[in-house]
Amino acid sequence: MKDLQNLKYLECVIKEALRLHPSVPIISRVSEEEFKIGNFTLPRNTHIVLPLYAVGRDPQYFSNPDDFLPERFLLENTTKIHPFSFVPFSAGPRNCVGQKFAMLEMKMIVGKVLRDYEILPLGPDIMPTMSLILRSTTGINLGLKPRA
């Protein structure tokens, strides 16, 4: 467990992958009370859609938003990230209760695969499509080559 927690850069890689390709690309909420956003007043019971896929690629929140830069999630850089611009496990009272377990599980699986195999792209390029979860219309075609 301690070894998994010490894999800080791998955690940055996973977070950057989740920023670019969130498992759940869109979440929605219903306002419990009236509130203002800028010059707009939203009434109570308004359905609000939060496009996490678009927020993760917004240059207002992430410089070079289409580049894969895990370093943006290093501890010294996280103060530059708006707390609600990256919420791969949701946020607030409806956040994922298993998010720490999920991160440990991802680290364990990715670490094991990368230790034993080289991952090779076999094409075609991934073409994302949004439904309840983010999917690819072309599948995810990878090859695994055992490491020597």
Whether 103 shows a pLDDT value over 90: the answer reads yes
How far apart are the C-alpha atoms of 115 and 108, rounded to whole Å?
10
C-alpha closest to that of 50 among 5, 19, 85: 85
Question: What local confidence, expressed as pLDDT, does residue 74 receive?
Answer: 96
User: Could you tell me what percent of the chain has a pLDDT over 90?
Assistant: 68
How far apart are the C-alpha atoms of 71 and 128, rounded to whole Å?
24
pTM, two decimals, is 0.87
User: Could you tell me what percent of the chain has a pLDDT over 70?
Assistant: 100
Whether 131 shows a pLDDT value over 90: the answer reads no
CATH of the domain at 55: 1.10.630.10
**Domain membership of residue 33 as a residue range:** 1-146
Question: What local confidence, expressed as pLDDT, does residue 130 receive?
Answer: 84
Instruction: Kindly report, residue by residue over 17-54, the tens digit of the pLDDT.
Output: 999 999 889 988 899 999 898 999 999 999 999 999 99
Known binding-site residue numbers for heme: 96
Cβ-count burial of 79 within 10 angstroms (0-12 exposed, 13-18 middle, 19+ buried)? exposed
Cβ-count burial of 28 within 10 angstroms (0-12 exposed, 13-18 middle, 19+ buried)? exposed
Number of domains in the chain: 1
| Whole-Å CA distances, 87 to 39, 84, 94, 98, 118 | 26, 6, 11, 14, 30
How far apart are the C-alpha atoms of 43 and 45, rounded to whole Å?
6
Sign of the torsion angle spanned by Cα atoms 50, 81, 99, 134: positive
DSSP state for residue 88 in the 8-state scheme: B
Known binding-site residue numbers: 96
